[in-house]
Amino acid sequence: MTLSSRWAALLRSDSIPAVLAAVGFAVLAAVVALASAAIVVAVMPE
C-alpha cells in the first residue's frame, strides 16, 4: 500500500479527527524544530 492510498483510505474513513490531530502534531513538531534551530543559530557565537 502506497502512502497516497493510505492517506486516501484515512480520509475516506470516519477518522477525520485522527487525521487532523496527526497533521496538527506534524506542523507543531516542524514549528518547534525550526524555532529551536533559529535559537541555536542566534545564540551560537560567531
DSSP letters along 1-46, please? --HHHHHHHHHHTT-HHHHHHHHHHHHHHHHHHHHHHHHHHHHS--
CA 45 to chain centre: 30
CB of 10 closer than 8 Å to CB of 18: yes
Confidence class for position 4, pLDDT limits 50, 70, 90:
confident
Mean pLDDT over residues 17-42, rounded?
Answer: 91
Does position 27 have pLDDT exceeding 70, yes or no? yes
Q: pLDDT digit string (tens) for 6-24?
A: 777 766 666 777 778 888 9
Does position 34 have pLDDT exceeding 90, yes or no? yes
Grid coordinates representing 46 are 560567531
